[in-house]
Every structure is written in structure tokens, then in C-alpha cells.
Amino acid sequence: MTTGSGSTFVFGLAVAGRAVAASLRERGAEVVVGDDKLTEDHRSFAQSIGARVVDIASDGELQRVMSSVSVLSPAPGVPERHGVIRSAHENGVSIQSEIEIAYRMESLRSGGPRPMVAITGTDGKTTTTLMANAMLRAAGLRAEAVGNTEVPFIESLGTDAQAFAIESSSFRLEYTEQFRTQASAWLNIAPDHLDWHSSYQKYFDAKAKMWANCLPTDVAVAPVDDVNICAVARASAARVVTFGAVDGDYRVVGGELCGPFGSIMEISRMKRSLPHDVTNALAAAAVCIEGGLVNADQVALALEQFENAPHRIQFVAEIDGVRWFNDSKATSPHAASVALRAFDSVVLIAGGKNKGLDLSQMACEPHRMRAVVAIGASADDIARAFSGVCTVVKATSMSEAVEQAALVAREGDVVVLSPGCTSYDWYSNYGERGEDFMKCVREYSEKHR
């Protein structure tokens, strides 16, 4: 089997875990499944694919299963400190993420693997992956955006896709041994997911694994202004291409996106061109063009039509000269700072469940700040971060946060929900949080017509 001899223990039975277990069983592999809290739904799923279920809460069961399998495939949400991960290391079990197993399967495909590009980074991964996918489609390829998107890579292997754009999170890259693509970009790096990784260095090292297996024919796309990422790129076997707003092989010149060969398109032709939209577009263009999959005209066509996924600085409404934006996807201070830099005068709604990160870095744009509305479990931390920077008020619900933001906003301001924290105090996920925010904004607009 592509994962090695013996059986595979798939631990964590949400979307990615189920996709791995089902795909392995379809290929005749022996699969054992488990979860922290087994449910009847988990047991029904296991029965439906013919997999054995183990309950690691039972005495000695974890050791028994780890001594009987050759591979552990943990779901992305299983942190590196988890007992299942420790047991795998102790027992010499290979740990392989969803994209690693999918890559091994694809490598053995009759006719050879299909073209693959990959994107990682602290922020902008999803947007840049979707941009790259749009460019591949503009070139006439049946391409799929997979990985850390809504569709696991392994789930798309059986489709008629001709190419893949793979969003590669640190969770998935951490447990790779062979994974590589012909072109890949590392967008940026900042402290994040320190509730999952044991240290910032471990987080950085997980990202760096994207280039660990590069061949000389591969392309590594790096941000020209980040010396640490560029150093990893240059230490790899890949050909290095850089991007940046001002400098780099792919950069902005006179209001145009440009590559080593000249102009790609005027920025004004893009549907949205906030500063991070421009750098994301440059990275996606570099991956697809340097990977030999598209040309400049196809990049321009894709970017002219590209619309971002929801909850990423998503325009909601304009009320009395104030524009409202939903950036619920910003679950780290670094991501929230990207949103702040996109506007001149901001009322920020921020807070939620912190991931062990320093929230004070969100206060790095004091000249842009009108006020902050602090919400959620980390409201006090948000208030401290912005103390002395601008007006800070607290709210105990999203509807109250919208009311408070409207009170302090002035004509020409922007109100943006860019929490800098996860949603797991009030909501199940960032999408649910963003939808509630937009609902509250619309309700406020109706009340104040």
C-alpha cells in the first residue's frame, strides 16, 4: 500500500479523517479508526467502510493499536502534544498527514501524477490557493483547490481533475515525508497555532517541509522581504523565484503586476486590489507561470474575474457613510493586522478564544484606529492591547458589538470584524461567527433606516 506495509490508524474522524479512511479502504488497505470521543456516528461510519474501531480511552488500547499498525494518520486538529502522536513516536510508527498519503497515492497513478502546485503561509493561503486554481482553470485545465480547503486532497484523487492547487497548512505539512509539488509558494510567517505546535520554531519548521523534497526542476516562490523564508528556499534543491509589492521577480511596477518577462496586467483590472490581494496575486502568478502551467494572459483573465471566498475582508454593507466588512477568517493577530493595513480609519471588532498568541501586535497601526470593540473570552486582553492607542469598549454579544461599533464610527470610517482569535468561545467555527456578524449588521441597518 502507498502508506507502507501493515495497517493504518486514522485518528480524528471529521472531514479529513473520514476522507483518508474511506480512500484507504477503497484501495484495499486495512484501516483502524478512532477519535478522542467516540460516538455512534463514528461507529456507523467505521462499519460502513469496513474499518475496525478502537477506543483509546480503554486501558492499554492505545499501546495495543500502536504496536499493530505501521502508519498513523492524524486529523489536522490533532496537536503534536497529543498522546496518540507521542505513542506513534515511541513505537516507531510513521506519521502521515492527509496530503502525504494523497501524494503517495497520486505518485503511483497510472500515467503518472497530475500537475500540482502548493501554497503555505500564516495568512493568505486560501485566497492564494483559490487564485492559483482560477489561473489553472483559465488555462483550460480541470483544476481543483484542495488540502486545507473544504475538499481534502485525497478526496479529489478519484475525480477527472487535471491539476491540483493544494493549500498546505502547517498541520498537514508537519507529518509529510515525501510530499512535493512542481511549484509552491510560502507567503509569510508570523506566530500562530501555538496551541497546536509546541513552539514557534516547530511551526516554522513544519512550513519549511514544503520544500524538503524539491527537485532541481521544481520552483520555490518566496517573499523577497523575508530573509528566513528566502534562506529555506535557497537551501532547497529548487529554483528560487521571489515576489513582493516593490521588489522581487514578481512585483508591482507603475500600477501593473509584473513578472521577469514584463507586464502581466494593470492592477485596476482586478476585481479587488487591497495590498494583500496584490501580493497574493503575485505569488499565485509566480507559482503558475514558473511552474509552466499558465501564461500571463491567462493569469490576467483569472484575476479579472476572481472573487474571494467568504469571511475574508468581505464587504457587507454601507450604512450612513460607514462601510462594514466581515473578516472572521482572521484568527491570528497577524491576519487581523493585514485587514487593518487595508484601510485608513478603522473601528475594529476583535476578540474570541486566543491561541496563545501575543495580541498586542494587533495594535501596530495606531494611526488607523478610530476605536476597538472587544468581544469574547479574550476581551480583556484585547482591551489591554489597545489601551492608550484608541477608544476601547466591550460587548457581550455580536449584536451589542455591532451597536457599539456604530456608535463610535464616523462617516468615511470602516468597521471590520477581524478578531485575531478563534471563534470557539461563542461559535463552532469562523464561518458561523462571520454569518452572525453579517446578520447583525443587516438587522442594525434595517432598524436605523
What burial class does residue 439 get, using C-beta atoms within 10 Å of its C-beta: 0-12 exposed, 13-18 middle, 19+ buried? Answer: middle
User: Percent of the chain at pLDDT above 70?
Assistant: 99
Rounded Cα–Cα distance for residues 394 and 207 (Å) = 36
Rounded Cα–Cα distance for residues 351 and 286 (Å) = 35
Task: Tell me the pLDDT of the chain averaged across its residues.
Answer: 94
All domains in the chain, ordered by first residue: 7-96 (3.40.50.720), 100-305 (3.40.1190.10), 314-447 (3.90.190.20)
pTM of the model as a whole: 0.85
Non-local (6+) Cβ contacts of 432 within 8 A are 423
Q: What's the order of all strands across the beta sheet hosting 31-34?
A: 52-53, 31-34, 7-11, 69-74, 94-95
Flag whether pLDDT at 50 surpasses 80.
Answer: yes
Averaged pLDDT, 203-224 = 97
Task: Give pLDDT tens digits for 93-110.
Answer: 999 999 999 999 999 999
Instruction: Let me know: does 314 contact 416? Beta carbons within 8 Å.
Output: no
Task: Give pLDDT tens digits for 369-401.
Answer: 999 999 999 999 999 999 999 999 999 999 999
Q: Could you give the C-alpha distances from 333 to 123, 189, 337, 365, 382, in angstroms and in order?
A: 10, 12, 6, 12, 10
Task: Give pLDDT tens digits for 131-150.
Answer: 999 999 999 999 999 998 78
Flag whether pLDDT at 356 surpasses 90.
Answer: no
DSSP label of 239? E
Query: What's the pLDDT at 5?
Result: 52
Averaged pLDDT, 172-187 = 97
Averaged pLDDT, 84-97 = 96
Flag whether pLDDT at 2 surpasses 50.
Answer: no
What burial class does residue 133 get, using C-beta atoms within 10 Å of its C-beta: 0-12 exposed, 13-18 middle, 19+ buried? Answer: buried
Query: What's the pLDDT at 348?
Result: 98
Averaged pLDDT, 429-447 = 95
Task: Give pLDDT tens digits for 242-280.
Answer: 999 999 999 999 999 999 999 999 999 998 898 999 999
Measured in whole angstroms, how far is the alpha carbon of residue 63 from the centre of its chain? 33
Non-local (6+) Cβ contacts of 439 within 8 A are none
Flag whether pLDDT at 1 surpasses 60.
Answer: no
Q: How many CA atoms lie within 13 A of 193 on its CB side?
A: 23
